[in-house]
């Protein structure tokens, strides 16, 4: 929660669970004092389940169906009246959540369409008017409570139904703005929020749809303060206010992983939760969906996020009858199975102590134990932990804790020898117990002995925005950036050279549609443009020269950006190499 006029240091205090968290515009003096560790469970939870469910699921065109199809209010009422999820079984949902290994669940109480899936005293546009005619959030809260899983509620500020909500969308020609009063709408929202807290005692209020009003902070602060006074342990996301560091208890990057985690304005780490869809298109039920991330990819996604200090809130959009389709359920169970063995490397861990690892893997930390999640089994069957000054006591796989792995010191690094094969190709976890708290020297990408600079994709920061598609994957002997079709996704490397000189830039990639996709290599702002050429196969990269650059001694930044995609494919990028020009 943001305290206007007070610096980020105070926000940090709030992160640490201090009373400042509840301070609204009036300042800490009048704030109720929340439990000191109110954020602790959330910080340790790491994995939550998001549920987008409402009358829009009947249409099967995602939760924005009403806008997408420009459905008149009158016609949309048909869905509100006829919603009848006869197979909704809250115990089954709780059991699935348990099996998936999630530590909390967040469900939409009211989405942008304005329909409340709970029994609300403040509107008749709620579940009670539907054919189903029974409350949903009450029974769900009870089932989750029985299962020991905290439940939170998503609440949309934007509302396409309430007569007082403003502004209106261009397609809304049938809801008059005459007499509409946004302040009165916020009174309604406030009443519903109080109702949600009083009736169901949620652990989290997860706001959304704030963007049409993100400059009107005062009302939001007042609501936040009021809710905190009702329930001092309640967590509130940033979207009641603004999606910016410094607001709310946690940040909510949507469908992308921030390249280097999330920080407060003063540079301190911020609590954050990336919400993600398992499928490609939409949060609510999409009957036409055919594209789903694979379970190994979702497991790696979870690890990636946790290694950067965040939580993953993974979404499902149940069917209109209340069942969760197998595409979702099966993936949840597979992630849960992985967590059964590897959960200790996820829950309650903190971010990696390594800025980067010289292989395709990620690190999480608990006290004196490092967990190295190996995602691409290295050809030489070793992993190098760069700059690890603390001595290692013991190393073993979580799949076989009884069998120690051998390790040796190699200068500033520690090298652990792995078994022949990866027990789990998605991510095999090596536990590395240290003799003390981890001390690690920062990692720098520097030239090899012959002067060349190697920039493999696993050493890059993967920059992205909402709608990230690109991710790393391991193919046979190499790791590549794959599924690269969003031009906003790009790898970026920072490296140093020790002397000035000209370098030949060579890019190694595999490409399916040779010659059709365009890309650029950008070195310190200078762009070299190229088109993809055919490689031996989509799994085996070829190496292609793209030009020369002159570099001074010192630090440099290199990015590869795609400029044009062909058939949903640009290239599978393996690495960029700078070779001193002859």
The full 3-state SS of 525-536, as one line of letters, equals: CEEEEEECCCCC
Element containing residue 247 per DSSP (H, E): none
Q: Does 424 bind ligand GLC (CB under 6 A)?
A: no
Residues 6+ away with beta carbon under 8 Å from 449:
none
Looking at the Cβ atoms of 52 and 319, the one nearer to ligand GLC is: 52
What are the φ and ψ backbone dihedral angles of 239, each rounded to 5 degrees? Answer: -80, 0
Q: Minimum distance from CB of 283 to ligand GLC (Å)? A: 5
Q: Minimum distance from CB of 225 to ligand GLC (Å)? A: 24
Looking at the Cβ atoms of 117 and 353, the one nearer to ligand GLC is: 117
Q: Minimum distance from CB of 466 to ligand GLC (Å)? A: 8
Q: Minimum distance from CB of 506 to ligand GLC (Å)? A: 40
Residues 43-62 within binding reach of ligand GLC (CB under 6 A): 52
Q: Minimum distance from CB of 78 to ligand GLC (Å)? A: 21
> How is 172-205 classified by DSSP, letter by letter?
--SS--TT--HHHHHHHHHHHHHHHHHHH--SEE
Q: Minimum distance from CB of 50 to ligand GLC (Å)? A: 7
What are the φ and ψ backbone dihedral angles of 297, each rounded to 5 degrees? Answer: -65, -40
Q: Report how far residue 582's alpha carbon sits from residue 580's, in angstroms, rounded to the nearest whole number.
A: 6
Q: Does 238 bind ligand GLC (CB under 6 A)?
A: no
Q: Minimum distance from CB of 249 to ligand GLC (Å)? A: 16
CB atoms within 10 A of CB 305: 27
Q: Minimum distance from CB of 486 to ligand GLC (Å)? A: 17
Looking at the Cβ atoms of 209 and 358, the one nearer to ligand GLC is: 209
Which one of 76, 93, 221, 283 is in contact with ligand GLC (CB under 6 A)?
283
Looking at the Cβ atoms of 206 and 471, the one nearer to ligand GLC is: 206
567 exposure class (CB count in 10 Å sphere: 0-12, 13-18, 19+):
exposed
Looking at the Cβ atoms of 318 and 358, the one nearer to ligand GLC is: 318
Q: Minimum distance from CB of 66 to ligand GLC (Å)? A: 11
Looking at the Cβ atoms of 444 and 466, the one nearer to ligand GLC is: 466
Looking at the Cβ atoms of 20 and 157, the one nearer to ligand GLC is: 157
Q: Does 115 bind ligand GLC (CB under 6 A)?
A: no
Looking at the Cβ atoms of 159 and 208, the one nearer to ligand GLC is: 208
Q: Minimum distance from CB of 220 to ligand GLC (Å)? A: 16
Looking at the Cβ atoms of 283 and 371, the one nearer to ligand GLC is: 283
Q: Report how far residue 469's alpha carbon sits from residue 193's, in angstroms, rounded to the nearest whole number.
A: 35
Q: Report how far residue 156's alpha carbon sits from residue 114's, in angstroms, rounded to the nearest whole number.
A: 8
Q: Minimum distance from CB of 69 to ligand GLC (Å)? A: 15
Q: Minimum distance from CB of 77 to ligand GLC (Å)? A: 20
Looking at the Cβ atoms of 239 and 362, the one nearer to ligand GLC is: 239
Token duo for residue 143: 């089932």
Query: Strand order of the sheet with strand 461-463?
Result: 461-463, 490-497, 554-564, 518-523, 526-531
Cβ pair 282, 62 in contact under 8 A: yes
Q: Report how far residue 136's alpha carbon sits from residue 134's, in angstroms, rounded to the nearest whole number.
A: 6
Residues 292-331 within binding reach of ligand GLC (CB under 6 A): none
Q: Minimum distance from CB of 401 to ligand GLC (Å)? A: 38
- Among residues 191, 206, 245, the alpha carbon closest in space to that of 106 is found at 206
Token duo for residue 345: 């490397």
What x-and-dash track marks residues 240-259 binding ligand GLC by CB under 6 A?
A: --------------x-----
The helices-and-strands tally (H runs, E runs) of the chain is 10, 26
Between the alpha carbon of residue 353 and those of residues 77, 345, 350, 439, the distances in Å are: 53, 14, 9, 8
Q: Does 207 bind ligand GLC (CB under 6 A)?
A: no
Q: How many residues does the chain have?
A: 582
Whether the CA torsion 344, 347, 348, 354 is positive or negative: it is positive
Looking at the Cβ atoms of 283 and 493, the one nearer to ligand GLC is: 283
Q: Does 208 bind ligand GLC (CB under 6 A)?
A: yes
Q: Does 289 bind ligand GLC (CB under 6 A)?
A: no
Q: Does 210 bind ligand GLC (CB under 6 A)?
A: no
Q: Does 275 bind ligand GLC (CB under 6 A)?
A: yes
Looking at the Cβ atoms of 315 and 479, the one nearer to ligand GLC is: 315
Q: Report how far residue 154's alpha carbon sits from residue 152's, in angstroms, rounded to the nearest whole number.
A: 7
The whole-angstrom distance between residue 343's C-alpha and the CA centroid of its chain comes to 18
Q: Is the peptide bond between 415 and the residue preceding it cis, with omega within 30 degrees of 0?
A: no
Q: Does 465 bind ligand GLC (CB under 6 A)?
A: no
Q: Minimum distance from CB of 271 to ligand GLC (Å)? A: 17
94 exposure class (CB count in 10 Å sphere: 0-12, 13-18, 19+):
buried
Cβ pair 567, 514 in contact under 8 A: no
Q: Does 574 bind ligand GLC (CB under 6 A)?
A: no
The full 3-state SS of 381-421, as one line of letters, equals: CEEEECCECCCEEEEEECCEEEEECCEEEECCEEEEECCCC
Residues 6+ away with beta carbon under 8 Å from 269:
261, 262, 263, 309, 351
Size of the site for ligand GLC (CB under 6 A): 7
Q: Report how far residue 525's alpha carbon sits from residue 487's, in angstroms, rounded to the nearest whole number.
A: 17
Looking at the Cβ atoms of 64 and 280, the one nearer to ligand GLC is: 64
Q: Minimum distance from CB of 208 to ligand GLC (Å)? A: 5
Which one of 1, 15, 63, 483 is in contact with ligand GLC (CB under 6 A)?
63
Looking at the Cβ atoms of 106 and 549, the one nearer to ligand GLC is: 106
Residues 390-409 within binding reach of ligand GLC (CB under 6 A): none
Q: Report how far residue 306's alpha carbon sits from residue 310's, in angstroms, rounded to the nearest whole number.
A: 5
Looking at the Cβ atoms of 68 and 92, the one nearer to ligand GLC is: 68
Whether the CA torsion 374, 376, 382, 385 is positive or negative: it is negative
Q: Which residues bind ligand GLC (CB under 6 A)?
A: 52, 63-64, 208, 254, 275, 283
């Amino acid at each position: 929660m943001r305290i206007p006029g007070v610096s980020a240091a105070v926000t940090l205090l709030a992160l640490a669970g201090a009373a400042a968290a509840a301070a609204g515009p009036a300042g800490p003096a009048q704030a109720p004092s929340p439990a000191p560790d109110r954020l602790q469970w959330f910080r340790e939870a790491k994995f939550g389940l998001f549920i987008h469910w409402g009358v829009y699921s009947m249409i099967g065109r995602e939760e924005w169906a009403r806008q997408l199809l420009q459905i008149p209010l009158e016609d949309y009422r048909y869905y509100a009246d006829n919603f009848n999820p006869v197979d909704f079984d809250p115990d089954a949902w709780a059991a699935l959540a348990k099996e998936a290994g999630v530590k909390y669940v967040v469900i939409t109480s009211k989405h942008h369409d304005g329909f409340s899936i709970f029994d609300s005293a403040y509107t008749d546009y709620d579940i009670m008017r539907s054919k189903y005619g029974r409350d949903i959030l009450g029974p769900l809260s009870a089932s989750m409570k029985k299962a020991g899983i905290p439940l939170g509620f998503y609440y949309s500020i934007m509302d396409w139904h309430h007569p007082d909500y403003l502004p209106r969308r261009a397609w809304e020609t049938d809801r008059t703005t005459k007499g509409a009063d946004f302040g009165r709408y916020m009174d309604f929202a406030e009443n519903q929020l109080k109702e949600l807290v009083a009736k169901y005692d949620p652990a989290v209020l997860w706001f959304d749809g704030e963007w049409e009003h993100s400059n009107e902070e005062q009302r939001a602060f007042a609501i936040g303060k009021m809710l905190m006074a009702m329930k001092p342990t309640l967590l509130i996301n940033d979207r009641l206010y603004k999606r910016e560091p410094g607001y709310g208890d946690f940040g909510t990057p949507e469908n992308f992983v921030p390249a280097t985690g999330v920080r407060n304005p003063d540079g301190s780490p911020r609590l954050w939760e990336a919400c993600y869809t398992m499928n490609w298109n939409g949060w609510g039920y999409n009957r036409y969906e055919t594209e789903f991330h694979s379970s190994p990819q979702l497991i790696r996604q979870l690890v990636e996020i946790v290694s950067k200090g965040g939580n993953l809130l993974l979404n499902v959009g149940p069917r209109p009858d209340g069942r969760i389709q197998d595409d979702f359920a099966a993936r949840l169970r597979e992630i849960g199975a992985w967590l059964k063995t590897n959960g200790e490397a996820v829950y309650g861990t903190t971010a990696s102590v390594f800025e980067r690892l010289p292989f395709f893997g990620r690190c999480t930390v608990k006290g004196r134990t490092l967990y190295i999640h190996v995602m691409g089994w290295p050809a030489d069957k070793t992993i190098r932990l760069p700059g690890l000054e603390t001595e290692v006591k013991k190393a073993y796989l979580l799949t076989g804790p009884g069998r120690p792995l051998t390790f040796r010191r190699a200068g500033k690094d520690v090298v652990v020898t792995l078994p022949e094969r990866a027990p789990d190709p998605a991510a095999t976890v090596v536990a590395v117990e240290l003799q003390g708290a981890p001390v690690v020297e920062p990692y720098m990408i520097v030239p090899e002995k012959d002067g060349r600079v190697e920039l493999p994709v696993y050493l890059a920061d993967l920059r992205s925005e909402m709608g990230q598609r690109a991710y790393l994957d391991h193919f046979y002997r190499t790791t590549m950036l794959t599924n690269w079709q969003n031009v906003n996704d790009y790898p970026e490397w920072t490296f140093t050279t020790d002397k000035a000189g000209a370098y030949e830039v060579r890019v190694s990639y595999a490409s399916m549609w040779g010659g059709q996709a365009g890309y650029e290599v950008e070195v310190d702002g200078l762009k070299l443009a190229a088109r993809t050429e055919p490689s031996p196969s989509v799994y085996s990269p070829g190496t292609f020269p793209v030009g020369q650059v002159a570099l001074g001694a010192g630090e440099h930044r290199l990015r590869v950006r795609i400029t044009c995609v062909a058939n949903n494919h640009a290239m599978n990028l393996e690495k960029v190499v700078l070779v001193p020009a002859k």
